[in-house]
Amino acid sequence: MQTMSEPLLAPAADESETVPASKKKKVSLPSLGSTKFNFLFFKRLWKILRVFFPSVRSWTLGFFIIFLFIRASAEYNYYNTGLIPSKFYASLTSRDNSNFRESVYQSLIIVASACICKSAVDLMANIIYIRWRCLLTRHIQRLYFSNLNYYKLNVIEKIVDNPDQRITQDVERFCNDLATQILPKLILWPFIVGYYTYKTYNTMGFIGIVAIYGLFAVATVINKFLMGPVVALIVTQEKREGDFRFQHVEVRTNAESIAFSNGGSLEESKSKELMGKLFKTQLEVAHWSFPLNMSVDLFDYLSSIITYIVLGVIIFSGGYDTLSSSELSSQISEVSFFSLYLLNNFSTLVDQSNNVADLAGYAHRIGHFLEVLQALNKRQASSVCDSNDESNDDGNDNKENGIVSNEVTPVNIRESVIESDVAAQFEDVTVATPSGGDSSNLSILVEGLTFHFERGRNILISGPAGSGKSSILRVLKQLWTPLKGKAQIVLSDSESELMFLPQKPHLTIGSLADQVTYPERHKRDYIDTGELDSVLFENDIDEALRLAKLYSVKERLGGIHVVYDGKWSDYLSPGEMQKMVFARLLYHKPSFAILDEATSSLSEEDETYFYSLLQEMGITFLSIGHRSTIKKYHQLVLALTGKGQWTLGLVE
């Protein structure tokens, strides 16, 4: 093998003209910030509402207007229902039988109409909740699964805790609270309060307005003060819930490994620690909710008697002396309804303090999540622009027949290789471990790496553990950003022509057919419409299973379309899981494959079988592996020697 102590690269350009990736200004990721009922809450709430109502012509806005109409109709019926007692008082005290019968008929119609409208409001509120949750979840998932953001947030950037909880639980609770608890009660609140303020003023005068509004103002100030700590604690509580659940998900996922390692006691200790933190936060929420709930209840009880106190002042001061007894009873009933309904609407607003506190906590977590996802997309767009600028500046001066070179003359490998397409290329790439923004803590793995992955030239990447073998693939797949240089897949249709085979395969939820065809969407819909021959489809899967030595799995399950109700990683052995990845490769038949220790759980016999099969199929592959037996299937060896050094040469 030809050894090259310097990077395989033409004489480097002036370094002053090259700006390393680490030196370029990156789009910063926003922090969670203050988690109180403040301006930031309204800003994040507005960001979420724009997902629900993207434009004035959106169907969600039209549906919401219909909901407003039905809610207004229900309010009109509530108003008529509240006047029923005064009509009965008037007819009963005056002993008017005909008026009494008419009141009965009208009351039955009003009550029936009110019940229908109330049920319609509840129905539409639930539909809105479901639709909003669907819209918000899809919007977040679209951002989450774009530009590999799901990888960045779970592996590299730790600024968002428990993304899975925010997508599922937080979104569900936010939409449910807003659509079914807060919206139906508060959407017409300003108009209702304005109308009943007018009616109360006409019947009770200025003293009634002052008493009711004064009580509400005092309650609002007190509840605003008490609500702040609850909002912050709700955010912390949701984080603790996510951490506690994640611990048990990890135990479930790795149950066998934990059992073999006798790690049950340690995992129990960790679970208790997380449970203790969660319960401590929940107790703090309960303690801070006590004065808030007491304030809410006190206002409710005071609201029920303040009307009669004001009425007593008016009556005992001679306000209704001109009315007869029957007229006074009717007047008291009507006035009580107006003032109590006004107070009830104020009470409703105060009663929503806990719901609004919860909503604010969820809005902060979801809004921050959206901000981070959007910032990641901006960062990706910025890096693409920088990459394009570099490619325009670099030119092709460093290429020589698809093989890089410098002052040390490399072996002329190209003489034995047919002219072919390039699948991927590395141009003066320096790879370092992600530092989370701390450039002083960088660990250089590979420095100045330059080579091309071409059709007909199989490359083996070797080196000790931790030397950066898998890191090279992460950079190629754009999971990591190189410290310097450029790595890219240059195939016109990379998704169908190039396939990655990881050491630890992911087995998705679904049937055996779903495992083989992954990541292709299931073709059953095309089969049902007649656009795809089901026999040919199933024959392709059967052939892939047979070649991958997994046909027995189909026989055990009873067919390729049988959905396994459990975890595939528990059903298949580690060796069978790696064979499943080869089954996918055999099904999709790409031109190129990248194998990241994809045969580490297979026997040498199976390993030899699969490498020979790839050669027979004409698939060009780049492998990471430790066994010397696979070296014979490659033409080139890229050896990583540690501390950024590497060598490239022919297989001996």
Structure confidence by residue, pLDDT tens digits, 64-76: 999 999 988 888 8
Please determine, for residue 582, whether its predicted confidence score (pLDDT) is greater than 90.
yes
Is there a domain that residue 389 lies in?
no
In this prediction, residue 372 carries a pLDDT of 93
Taking residue 533's Cβ as centre, other Cβ atoms within 10 Å add up to 11
Is there a domain that residue 400 lies in?
no
In this prediction, residue 587 carries a pLDDT of 92
Residue 407: which pLDDT band, with cuts at 50, 70 and 90?
very low
Same domain (yes/no): 354, 459: no
Q: State the pTM of this model.
A: 0.69
Tell me, rounded to whole angstroms, the distance of Cα 637 from its chain centroid: 41
Helix (H) or strand (E) segment spanning residue 135: helix 97-144
Residue 348: which pLDDT band, with cuts at 50, 70 and 90?
confident
In this prediction, residue 3 carries a pLDDT of 42
* Single-letter amino acid code for the residue at 509: I
Please determine, for residue 401, whether its predicted confidence score (pLDDT) is greater than 50.
no
In this prediction, residue 398 carries a pLDDT of 40
Distances (CA, A) of 488 to 429, 448, 470, 476: 11, 15, 15, 6
Distances (CA, A) of 245 to 167, 238, 333: 14, 11, 54
DSSP at 407: S
CATH number at residue 552: 3.40.50.300
Mean pLDDT over 188-215 rounds to 84
Last residue of a domain, one of 367, 384, 401: 384
Same domain (yes/no): 45, 194: yes
Least confident segment among 35-39, 273-277, 539-543: 35-39
Same domain (yes/no): 73, 150: yes
Query: Which of the pair, 87 or 268, is modelled with greater confidence?
Result: 268
Same domain (yes/no): 470, 604: yes
Sheet holding 484-489, edge to edge: 444-454, 422-432, 484-489
Same domain (yes/no): 373, 459: no
Cα separation, 388 vs 316, whole angstroms:
85
Same domain (yes/no): 371, 438: no
Same domain (yes/no): 352, 465: no
Please check whether residue 68 is in contact with residue 186, taking contact to mean a CB–CB distance below 8 angstroms.
Answer: no
Please determine, for residue 502, whether its predicted confidence score (pLDDT) is greater than 90.
no
Task: Report CA torsion sign: 627, 632, 634, 636.
Answer: positive
Is there a domain that residue 416 lies in?
no
In this prediction, residue 593 carries a pLDDT of 94
Here the tokens at position 35 are 């988690």
For residues 250, 255, 261 and 264, what is the CA-based torsion angle, rounded to 10 degrees? 80
Same domain (yes/no): 363, 468: no
Residue 530: which pLDDT band, with cuts at 50, 70 and 90?
low
The count of domains in the chain is 2
Is there a domain that residue 110 lies in?
yes
Same domain (yes/no): 523, 621: yes
Cα separation, 233 vs 357, whole angstroms:
10
Residue 22: which pLDDT band, with cuts at 50, 70 and 90?
very low
Structure confidence by residue, pLDDT tens digits, 98-137: 888 888 888 899 889 988 988 999 999 999 999 999 999 9
In this prediction, residue 534 carries a pLDDT of 66
Please determine, for residue 322, whether its predicted confidence score (pLDDT) is greater than 50.
yes
Alpha helix ranges (H) inside 53-96: 59-93
In this prediction, residue 393 carries a pLDDT of 52
DSSP states along 573-614: -HHHHHHHHHHHHHHH--SEEEEESTTTTS-HHHHHHHHHHH
Same domain (yes/no): 118, 223: yes
Cα separation, 514 vs 580, whole angstroms:
11
Mean pLDDT over 156-160 rounds to 82
In this prediction, residue 172 carries a pLDDT of 93
Is there a domain that residue 24 lies in?
no
Same domain (yes/no): 516, 380: no
In this prediction, residue 409 carries a pLDDT of 35
* CB within 8 Å of 531: residues ≥ 6 apart: none
In this prediction, residue 633 carries a pLDDT of 94
Q: How far apart are the first and last CA of the chain?
A: 6
CATH number at residue 370: 1.20.1560.10
**Pick from 647, 613, 607: which is nearest to 631 by CA?**
607
**Pick from 214, 205, 277: which is nearest to 241 by CA?**
277
Please determine, for residue 552, whether its predicted confidence score (pLDDT) is greater than 80.
yes
In this prediction, residue 439 carries a pLDDT of 54
Structure confidence by residue, pLDDT tens digits, 561-573: 888 877 788 888 8
In this prediction, residue 405 carries a pLDDT of 35
Residue 462: which pLDDT band, with cuts at 50, 70 and 90?
very high
Same domain (yes/no): 364, 470: no
Is there a domain that residue 466 lies in?
yes
Is there a domain that residue 606 lies in?
yes
Cα separation, 278 vs 297, whole angstroms:
27
Helix (H) or strand (E) segment spanning residue 459: strand 459-462
Last residue of a domain, one of 347, 364, 384: 384
Please determine, for residue 2, whether its predicted confidence score (pLDDT) is greater than 50.
no
- Residues of the domain holding 575: 434-443+455-481+490-650
* Single-letter amino acid code for the residue at 490: V
Is there a domain that residue 257 lies in?
yes
